[in-house]
Amino acid sequence: MSFSKDFLWGGATAANQCEGAYLDDGKGLNTADVMTAGDAKTERQITDGVIEGKNYPSHVAIDHYHYFKEDIALFAEMGFKTYRMSISWGRIFPNGDDAEPNEAGLKHYDEVFDECLKYGIEPLVTLSHYETPLNLLKYGTWTNRKVVDFFVKYCETVFNRYNGKVKYWLTFNEINSMSMSPWMAGGVSLDADEQTRMTAAYHQFIASAKAVKMAHELNPEMKVGMMYGGLFSYANTCDPKDVMANDKFMKEMLFYPDVQCRGYYPAYKLKEFERKGITLPKLDGDDEILLEGKVDFLSYSYYFSMVCGQETKGFSVDCGSMNTGYSNPYLPTTDWGWTIDPMGLRYSLNLFYDRYQLPLMIVENGLGAYDKVEDDGSIHDPYRIDYLREHIAEMKKAVEIDGVELLGYTPWGCIDIVSAGTGEMKKRYGFIYVDVDDEGNGTFNRSRKDSFYWYKKVIETNGENL
Ligand code: BG6
């Protein structure tokens, strides 16, 4: 036996990628609502408001907002112990800076959590998953300290409202994406320079730390984690120059968990800021806030691994894929060009556990693939089962052999949802197929893929039967 008996098996989604109902019950527009659909070769566009005739996948998505009871019943059928989901900030504070919260939005999530709890499913809630109320652009979103206060007020509202219903929280999804995808991370322009991105990241660190402290004061049972976007890279060769270049890349990412897990900026980052003339918008008392708001656990996404070396001058996100200038000849890739590296998952679990000795959680993992519905309605997805099986097997080794403390595993898009990187529906991750296409057309019927029955068995046997 390797996984603890209360291991949190489940699945994960995010509001803007599944809920749809983008203006229902008083919800305000957010940064995801102005992103058009793209594909593996076409970047998503960010438009100035909603433009008639353009395709915005978040507006309809899979209509989880109305189908949540049916969807949660299917999660329960698979035996989920937890459901990672996000609250849409704009459903609670439609403009982000409203004096009072929107009761209809609060009520909706009450119903969602009640539905989960009915089946003994523990909600695991991300407070900010790639969406910021659009109205906060007028403040410069996260570049402005005022937005920290707005976010903290939102956290206070939901912590109080759902106290007793929600125990596990995550503050910012893939917080390190402020370095590569600042719009998704917090409504910051893609053209923003490093000073601007580091200012916004600083404010998110402060906001997260304040939220952690507040949750603990309200209810010591609440556990608040950070969420790292799983970028891990290997050095291209054993040439020390490649190794140092890789180390440099990794530190550009690892300083995020360093701050959130240790409660202060690491020396290497402060030195880098000094050299580059980057300043942090620090106020009196901020050092204490960061220290007092260290996270209880570290969660992260893991899909692929990368390679870096001397040629990695910078790195970019191209149509949802990371580009470092290198590829890995030892690893196969998905149809979207992501490497498949199960052993890298064990490697990353060890890296984090050694670095912080904090409990870990894999809150995203999975294979985005094209699925085919057969004439009889069945969906055979052995490629997805293989991918997940191999990753779970490596995760198990990390627990069993390496002694990593792992709290749970929530594969991404447990039900098909819109892709964040490309805005497509056809890049599917789910155990549950949803009949809706890239244009938002379809019956919205849900059906079980082969992987649904496989994952049910995995949970039933606590990961013994893969
Ligand atoms: C993570 C995000 O980066 O990867 C999710 O937290 C996203 O929101 C997931 O959906 C998978 O990426 P994609 O681009 O295939 O949807």
| C-beta neighbour count of 48 within 10 angstroms | 6
> Residue 84: CB within 6 Å of ligand 1?
no
CA atoms 157, 159, 160, 163: torsion sign: positive
Tell me whether residue 78 is exposed, middle or buried, using C-beta atoms within 10 angstroms of its C-beta: 0 to 12, 13 to 18, 19 or more: buried
- Residue of the CA atom closest to atom 14 of ligand 1: 421
User: For residue 418, which atom of ligand 1 is closest to its CA?
Assistant: 16
- Which residue among 131, 364, 394, 424 is the active-site one? 364
**Quick check: CB of 173 below 6 Å from ligand 1?**
yes
The alpha carbon of 324 and the centre of ligand 1 are apart by a number of angstroms equal to 18
Give CA–CA dist 428/18, Å, rounded: 12
Report the pLDDT value the prediction gives residue 322, as an integer from 0 to 100: 84
Other C-beta atoms within 10 Å of 251: how many? 14
38 lines ligand 1 (CB under 6 A): no
Give yes or no for a contact between 301 and 365, defined as CB atoms under 8 angstroms apart.
yes
Stated length of the chain = 466
Q: What is the pLDDT of residue 67?
A: 98
Instruction: Determine what percent of the chain is predicted with pLDDT higher than 90.
Output: 97
Note the pLDDT of residue 313.
82
User: Does the annotation mark 174 as catalytic?
Assistant: yes
8-460 is a CATH 3.30.70.2860 domain = no
Name the nearest CA neighbour of 407 among 360, 363, 364. 360
The protein residue whose alpha carbon is closest to atom 16 in ligand 1 is: 419
Residue 42: CB atoms within 10 Å: 13
The dihedral sign for the CA sequence 2, 260, 179, 32: positive
Q: Any residues with CB less than 8 A from the CB of 366 and at least 6 apart, and which?
A: 303, 384, 387, 388, 411, 412, 413, 429
From atom 15 of ligand 1, which residue's Cα is the shortest distance away? Answer: 419
Residue among 419, 422, 425, 429 to mutate when testing ligand 1 (max atoms within 8 A of CB)? 419
In angstroms, the CA 144 to CA 206 distance is 12
Name which residue sits closest to atom 8 of ligand 1, judged by CA.
Answer: 420
CA 129: distance to chain centroid?
Answer: 6
Question: 131 in ligand 1 pocket by Cβ < 6 Å?
Answer: no
- For residue 155, give the nearest of 84, 65, 217 by alpha carbon: 217
Measure the CA–CA gap between 142 and 293, rounded to whole angstroms.
18
Segment-wise mean pLDDT, segments of 10 residues, the chain, 466 residues: 92 98 98 96 96 98 98 99 98 98 98 98 98 98 98 98 98 97 97 98 99 98 98 98 97 98 98 98 98 98 97 83 92 96 98 98 98 98 98 98 98 98 97 98 98 98 97
| pLDDT tens-place string over residues 233-276 | 999 999 999 999 999 999 999 999 999 999 999 999 999 999 99
The atom of ligand 1 lying closest to the CA of 338 is: 15
Determine if ligand 1 sits within 6 Å of the CB of residue 295: no
Please answer whether residues 287 and 350 qualify as being in contact, where contact means their C-beta atoms are separated by less than 8 angstroms: no
Which atom of ligand 1 lies nearest, measured to the CA of 421? 14
Catalytic residue among 19, 115, 131, 174: 174
Q: For ligand 1, say whether the CB of 328 is within 6 Å of any of its atoms.
A: no
260 backbone dihedrals φ, ψ, rounded to 5°: -75, -25
Write down the pLDDT at residue 1.
Answer: 59
Ligand 1, pocket-test mutation among 301, 321, 336, 414, most atoms within 8 A of CB: 301
